[in-house]
Chains A and B, each alone.
Chain A
Amino acid sequence: MSKLLNTELHKLHDIIVSMLVITLIYAVIGAFRSMSNRNTIYLGFGELLAIFAILICSVTGVFISQDFENNTVRNKLIIGHTRLKVYFSYQIIFALLALILTAIFIAVYILSGKIFFYMEVFRSEPLDTEAMKVLKENFFKALPVYLTAVPAFTAAAVFIPTALRSVAGGVLTVYLAYTINSLPAFSDFFPNNKFIEYINEILPSSQIFLMEGLSPQPDFSPLKYIAFSLAFAAVLTASGYALFRKADLK
């Protein structure tokens, strides 16, 4: 497994550097946007993180689908790497990459927000102290969920290209990442619909939006969301591997 991880890391070198630069720029721009809207970084973060998750999933999907499109996945199997190791090397690398980049994104976002705040760049009317306190509390309570949700979402981005085993897998991952990220909007069209609420709690991409807000969330349990995210990742990983294990490759 270490050989595969080492190889994937080297192959991803340029992509990691580019992603890092994009993350830094996006975090600063994101903080700028949030501050310019309401003079706080604790509102509007969910939307930014959801777009960030789409970006990571797109990179994951395209990278893996290219391995199948160029048939380079053969080179791993021919020399004796098992399918289990091949699948999990993808999963581990991209989940870790997502985790690290999300952590960097959040850190730079908060830091940039603080700098903008002290520089008094924005003169808009700040929210009242009580609202600020709730927003900040919700934001930091949700941090562990944010850090789990994005890596968990990559399980879908690994599943799709390995199931389709062609460039279509990459395209579909990008499309589905966007579509799934739009699901929370359904709760606006169907308020109090239990099924949609339930789906939104399970999907890591939707969880990102649930915790943000101006109202206190006394019954909010980060552990529940984290458990849902991990279960989501586990089910998709197990299904993805089951499909890949017996698949006929070209």
Chain B
Amino acid sequence: MEYVLKTNGLCKQYRNFKALNGLSMNIPKGSIYGFVGKNGAGKTTLIRLVCGLQFPTSGDFELYGVKSTDSKISRSRSRIGAVVETPSIYPSMTAEENLKIQYRLLGMPSFDGIEELLKLVGLENTGKKKAKNFSLGMKQRLGIAIALCGNPDLIILDEPINGLDPQGIIEVRELILKLNRERQITVLISSHILEELSKLATHYGFIDSGRIVKEMSAEELEQACRKCIHMEVTDTKILARVLDGMGIAYKILDEKTADVYAKPVFSRLALELSKEGCEVISMTEHDENLEGFFMELVGGARR
């Protein structure tokens, strides 16, 4: 798998506080990487390091194969666009003027594409309205448009839906999906609104206390969060044979426990198991969502 960003044991310390504590993560090319963590977990700090706004205390990262310690990292950064916390915009300028400034910073030969960008983020009708008079959602979308100037291969969005109304959230979500699908842009999106992330992300990185607790794909997460009956029996080999016979999907976890992905007729299942000499010790319904999964992970990490 090709990765656009790889971090190796990144640490960032502010006096006595360790914001990042040996963080290692990998962002696959073409993915929407959901960066999940509580407030203060280190999400924004990592983003600031990648964007060159801050420097790691130790550890390093690779952006498009170029190490952060290499002088060529600036060239790699020209392939990214980012909105870090609040959008960085000139309040006394219009949306178009803001984009023109970014085009000039990038040294683009013409302003072709500005109109298309404004259309893409839904700001094409803002005319001479100054950015300071924009709503929070409009500012956020303008920030995304600025990040998209110069056709970056990776965009980093730090809490992009914070403070947005439901309509704004849907718009930003659809925009991110569109960028990923139509322009093959890799997206690193940090958020603590898990429900929203689950509608977007193809990969996840769970962060807690400055460390990645778990990295997984959306399929793996779906599997982990799938609705099931968690069964504890005396022998899972017998359970597997019986469930196969009944045509029910399952996953054996160890010698005594298994997850069963359907609601079988329990009296019949218990009878069949009993006939084979296997007893049911306990059965619990397991219905975990992303939130529950995250809490379990973070709680686990704390223990």
Residues of A within 8 A of B (CB): 2-4, 6-7, 10-11, 70-82, 246, 248-250
B88 and A82 contact, CB distance less than 8 A: no
Known: A4-B105, A7-B105. A77 touches B52 (CB 8 A): yes
Known: A7-B101, A80-B77, A250-B85. 12 other contacts (CB 8 A): A4-B105, A6-B104, A71-B84, A75-B101, A77-B51, A77-B77, A79-B77, A79-B78, A79-B80, A79-B81, A79-B102, A80-B74
A78 and B51 contact, CB distance less than 8 A: yes
Instruction: Report chain A residues within 8 Å CB of B78.
Output: 79-80
A10 to B106, CA, bound (A): 14
Is B91 part of the binding interface, using a Cβ–Cβ cutoff of 8 Å?
yes
Task: Quote the shortest CB–CB distance from A243 to chain B (angstroms).
Answer: 14
Nearest 10 pairs between A and B by C-beta? A80-B77, A80-B78, A80-B74, A3-B107, A249-B53, A7-B104, A71-B88, A248-B54, A78-B51, A74-B88
Is B226 part of the binding interface, using a Cβ–Cβ cutoff of 8 Å?
no
Contacting A at CB under 8 A, from B228-281, are none
Is B214 part of the binding interface, using a Cβ–Cβ cutoff of 8 Å?
no
A10 and B101 contact, CB distance less than 8 A: yes
A and B contact pairs by CB, cutoff 8 A, 19 listed: A3-B106, A7-B105, A11-B101, A71-B86, A73-B88, A75-B102, A76-B105, A77-B53, A78-B80, A78-B81, A79-B102, A79-B150, A80-B73, A80-B74, A80-B76, A80-B77, A82-B74, A248-B48, A249-B54
Instruction: Report chain A residues within 8 Å CB of B84.
Output: 71, 74, 78, 250
B75 and A3 contact, CB distance less than 8 A: no
Task: Quote the shortest CB–CB distance from A167 to chain B (angstroms).
Answer: 13
Instruction: Report chain B residues within 8 Å CB of A78.
Output: 51-53, 77, 80-82, 84, 147
Instruction: Report chain B residues within 8 Å CB of A250.
Output: 48, 53, 84-85
Task: Quote the shortest CB–CB distance from A63 to chain B (angstroms).
Answer: 12
A82 to B78, CA, bound (A): 11
Task: Quote the shortest CB–CB distance from A3 to chain B (angstroms).
Answer: 4
Is B55 part of the binding interface, using a Cβ–Cβ cutoff of 8 Å?
yes
A74 and B150 contact, CB distance less than 8 A: no
A249 to B51, CA, bound (A): 10
Instruction: Report chain A residues within 8 Å CB of B80.
Output: 78-79
A3 and B85 contact, CB distance less than 8 A: no
Task: Quote the shortest CB–CB distance from A178 to chain B (angstroms).
Answer: 26
Instruction: Report chain A residues within 8 Å CB of B88.
Output: 70-75
Contacting A at CB under 8 A, from B57-97, are 73-78, 80-82, 84-86, 88-91
A248 and B101 contact, CB distance less than 8 A: no
Is B146 part of the binding interface, using a Cβ–Cβ cutoff of 8 Å?
yes
